[in-house]
Amino acid sequence: MLKCNRCVVFSQLCVLVGMVLGGASHLRAETYDLASSIARAMQVYPGVRAAGVDVDIAQTQLDQVNAARFLPQFEVRSVIGPSPEARGNALVGETRLSRLSIFTQTEATVVQPLFTFGQLSGAKTAAMAGIAAREAGLRKARGDLELQVAEVYFGLQLADDLVALALEAQRDFQTARDFVAEKLEEDEGDFTYADLGRIDRFAFDVSEKVHAAVKTRALAESAMRLLLGLGETDSLLLAEPLTPVEVEIEPLAFYLQRAGEREDMQQLDAAVQVRASLARVAKAEQYPQVFIAGQFKYGYAPNRDDQKSPFAKDDFNVLQAGAVIGIRQSLSFGLASVKTRQANLEHRKLVYQKQLAEKGMAIEIEQIYRALVEARKNMAVAGQARRATRRWFVSVRDGFNAGLEEASEMIDAAKEYGIIRAKYYEAVFNFNRSWARLQRAIGRSLL
């Protein structure tokens, strides 16, 4: 009943198997509709979890920038060691190496930037844009998973229908063969062994399609189990057969206007902001940095006389504290200028890439939209043809059973009826899949 070109449908389903990743296995016994399938996949799919970690990593980068704004350099050093005895003052003194004691010394230094000509603010803006990009990446991972689950879900529905169609054809031809064989044995009617041979020949084709449909259905089910994290012993029943999704197709301009909602475009917007901020940081490196630095130093050795003169220095007994305001300026103006120019060029390049992506995105959306409209039209005409060929098949079958039609006529009618039914299921599958792809193309959730 099914023509060989139906294998195209089967091969499309096989491709879906390579699109999935595994998850944990649980024993479950329930039916799944599209919404519950997506919800379960979200819980077990590692790609979504990895995208969530990317957001956390971007947040830590912002935390690092914020930490650099306040006391980016704060160090404490403490030492302990032997000190030789020393008595006297800066003019007259005596050191006795044979008399040792223990000294301690603690030193703390701190540097706080006061004005950086935009280096720190630019770094913070870049880090915040990086978080926005990672958050868009998380939404994209979720949306891509939604589409992946939907395609496999619709594919499994199609496989169920094709298996049922092939098995029905097999049963019908077995019934016809039994009928003809019985009439030949009883020598009734106008049937010949040529009719029986024609039925047996086509029955082979039908059996071949049954085997192919069963194999494809098994592959589609395996893909679905992997996406949902189900083991081989877990129940997997679809809650509904393959039917067209109930949606209103808007004009093409409606979808083109919403292209900016796509997560990859939001990622590009954030990336452009990052490059612009890094260009400002590179430019700010050409200017001086104003900072305040402070130091505290304390040391004590019990076997040494403390020097009271401000001109005397003893590193074992010391108490110092102070703060200064300073300016740090890199004199590598040529290198800084080249870095700034490179950062500006990278920003400009990304702007051009974003413009190119917008043009490509419009073409992609239109292609998917045209495919959706085409699938809807094919679905409508296939539905009409299915009803017409059914009337033809029923008429020929009844005539054949009454001995009024040749076996070849019944085979032709059954073959065309099966082809049209398969084409209708394929049209529904293409319509549902195109709808899901169009939703993803404009960054909308399938739910």
Q: What CATH number is given to the structural domain containing 276?
A: 1.20.1600.10
Total structural domains within the chain: 1
Alpha-carbon span 404 to 8, nearest angstrom = 36
367, two tokens: 């292609």
In the chain, the percentage of residues whose pLDDT exceeds 90 is 38
Any domain includes 242: yes
Structural domain range at position 362:
4-12+30-441
Decide: pTM greater than 0.85: no
Q: Which residues pair with 323 in a beta bridge?
A: 294
Closest to 201 measured CA to CA, from 221, 234, 227, 177: 177
Alpha-carbon span 440 to 254, nearest angstrom = 14
What mean pLDDT comes out for the span 348-371? Answer: 92
Q: Mean of the per-residue pLDDT values for the chain?
A: 84
Any domain includes 310: yes
Least confident of 284-288, 365-369, 440-444: 284-288
Strand-pair category, 237-238 with 31-32: parallel
What mean pLDDT comes out for the span 126-130? Answer: 91
- Summarised one tens digit per residue, pLDDT across range 311-358 is 778 888 888 898 999 898 888 888 888 989 999 999 999 999 989 998
Alpha-carbon span 438 to 376, nearest angstrom = 14
327 three-class SS: strand
Alpha-carbon span 6 to 4, nearest angstrom = 5
- Summarised one tens digit per residue, pLDDT across range 21-71 is 344 334 444 789 999 999 999 999 888 889 989 999 999 988 888 888 887
Any domain includes 24: no
Any domain includes 18: no
Any domain includes 23: no
Any domain includes 19: no
* pLDDT the model gives residue 191: 67
What mean pLDDT comes out for the span 212-219? Answer: 90
Any domain includes 142: yes
Residue with tokens 């990446």, as numbered in its chain? 137
Q: Is the pLDDT of residue 413 over 70?
A: yes
Any domain includes 447: no
* pLDDT the model gives residue 170: 81
> Are the CB atoms for 426 and 2 separated by under 8 Å?
no
The C-alpha angle 165, 166, 171, rounded to 5 degrees, equals 100
Burial of residue 265, with CB atoms counted within 10 A of its CB: 0-12 exposed, 13-18 middle, 19 or more buried: middle
